[in-house]
Chains A and B, each alone.
Chain A
Amino acid sequence: MRIKALVIRIIRQFIRDKRTLAMMFIAPLFILTLVNLVFSSNDYEPKIGVISDQKVVDQLKSSDQAFTVYQNKSKAHQDLADEKLDAVIEVTFPSTTITLEGSNPTANKASILTIEKALKSIQTQDTNKIKGNSEIIYLHGSADMETFDYIGPFLIGFFIFFFVFLISGVSFLRERTSGTLERLLATPMRRWEMVVGYVLGFGIFTILQSAIIVSFAIYVLDIKMAGSIWLVTLITLMLAITALSLGTLLSAFAKNELQMIQFIPLIVVPQVFFSGLFSIETMADWLQPLSMIMPLTYGGKAIRDVMIQGDGLGMVYGNVLVLLVFSLLFMLLNVLALKKHRKL
């Protein structure tokens, strides 16, 4: 009853605040479009597995350190599927087969370039043996996949996280600065009812937001979509709920809107670096575990796995569960944080 009252109030307030509505729904679309238009690829060092006889292997290895030798063909393909490798090259004279992991267009391009260069250096010695008839296979994706197809899924997750975090945090903060929180604490409303009411009230808008942004990316920006749109919407929604519960929690530690915005470089921006948009393997070892505590790590990976690799719920439910645990944890902490304002 009290939760319902809170939910209805939040919906009414939200609908009156047209600009905030626009920020939640239109700003992410705008930025996604911009990134789509301007993004260009950068240098990338590929990891390539080689399956072949010893002679070619030695030559390949000496030409570039990107190559790793595999004796076992299925092991190499397993590593490729696990994203430990970007490509596998099989040299069985006279033909060559290149299998690309395919999710990351930058990695694809870099791998092909590296292999072509290496093969050329061999060809000068054994010209007859390998002649231009190499075949390229994509494990995921295809040759026409663009950089945006790879980073798009992360960006969808990130923008939803960012805007929901900010809007929910500032709203909850305003409840405190305007004195209405104190007013509510003078009623028999329980602290958990307040937290749940907020999550539900905003949750309704985040469902809409997730659906709109995901559909826009797929149907208007034509981002690659291998899996189920419903699953992507579900994951983005879970990510939004996590952002919502984190935003309302952290607003307890901000005195005003400006201090809420100060959480962006502290909490939101670091998640971009750890979310998988940039390669975590290349970071300092002590830094890597940090990615484990970032909600965006799980959300971003799950969205990408579904959109590019076409994974089903069975493959990504682990990540979705982690987001659920994060949300519940943040909500629980928020119930405790409200104790600062009323013991009961």
Chain B
Amino acid sequence: MEPVIKVTNVSKDYQSHQVLKNIDLTVNNNEIYGLLGPSGAGKTTLVKMIAGIETPTNGSISVLHSSMPSLNIMSQIGFMAQSDALYGELSGRENLEFFSAIYGLKGQKQKERIHQVSELVNLSKFLQKPVNQYSGGMKRRLSLAAALLHEPKILILDEPTVGIDPVLRQSIWDELYKLSKSGTTILVTTHVMDEAEKCGQLGMLRDGKLIASGTPQELKNVTSSASIEDAFLYYGGVQHEN
């Protein structure tokens, strides 16, 4: 097990407000690591720092053995933001062409990758349509496709399955498993408890603190809970009692 993401004692302040407090976490190669927590817990800030967009106030982050932020490493990260960062005037294909060109894909290789990722998210038939005519779920899928274009070693997905129907959600998770098996490390945030069970490793984030981490099974066993939700309540409750 080789660690590819290492977050060491990271804190993040916005003005006087502390968003993250002394976070330590490690994500190993090929792993699907889930960051579970309610909105406002600091999930997005944490993944943005790992993706190299934000910098921590204290502590350090290394990805693929390089200290972040690093433009070089960023070309090996696929990032899917919480908001669908797409250009509404452009068609689905034009959006994918733009993002793939940013990562240096061109010609035949570019066409192939656009074809592959759009098949994967089930959008091949809608690529000619302007994105502002897409439904919410279609936009989510196109965002995911854009993050996969350059075959990144590390995939960071911020709430990827919001607004996606259960059937498609299952197919996206199947795809994530496949990517993970073929060597991609995946970091995914979610506030949906049952989705957390699909992850190999889980970190529970609440009020800027990592309150627990382990495999979903471990977390349930230790707290003798029936579900992840109960486990989360257990750890959250401990915080309250202190």
Contacts and interface: CB of A to CB of B under 8 A. Distances in A.
Interface of A: 1-2, 4-6, 8-9, 12-13, 16-17, 178-180, 182-190, 341-344
A184 B69 CA distance: 14
Nearest to A342: B53
Contacts of A178: 83, 85, 87-88
Given A9-B87, A12-B89, A179-B85, A342 B69 contact: yes
Contacts of A183: 79, 81, 85
From B51, B55, B70, B89, name the one whose CB has the most chain A CB atoms within 10 angstroms: B89
Contact of B130 (A9, A16, A180, A341): A16
4 nearest interchain CB pairs? Answer: A5-B101, A183-B85, A179-B83, A186-B79
A187 B103 contact: yes
Interface of B: 48, 51-55, 69-72, 74-75, 77, 79, 81-90, 94, 97-99, 101-104, 106, 130
12 contacts: A4-B101, A5-B98, A13-B87, A16-B89, A17-B89, A178-B83, A179-B84, A179-B85, A180-B86, A186-B52, A186-B74, A188-B72
A6 B94 CA distance: 11
A9 B98 contact: yes
Contacts of A12: 89-90, 94
B85 A13 contact: no
Contacts of A344: 52, 69-71
A9 B81 contact: no
Contacts, number: 84
Contacts of A4: 101
Nearest to B74: A188
Contacts of B70: 344
Given A178-B83, A186-B74, A1 B53 contact: no
B55 A343 contact: yes
A182 B85 contact: yes
Given A9-B90, A188-B75, A182 B101 contact: no
Contacts of A343: 55, 69
Given A5-B98, A342-B53, 17 more contacts: A6-B98, A8-B97, A8-B98, A9-B87, A9-B98, A12-B89, A13-B90, A16-B89, A178-B87, A179-B81, A179-B85, A182-B48, A183-B85, A186-B79, A188-B72, A188-B75, A343-B69
Nearest to A181: B85
Nearest to A341: B53
A217 to B, nearest CB: 31
B102 A184 contact: yes
Contact of B71 (A1, A16, A184, A188): A188
A5 B55 contact: no
A342 B48 CA distance: 10
A306 to B, nearest CB: 37
A172 to B, nearest CB: 13
Nearest to A185: B53
A202 B122 CA distance: 34
Contact of A1 (B74, B90, B94, B101): B101
B83 A13 contact: no
A183 B102 CA distance: 11
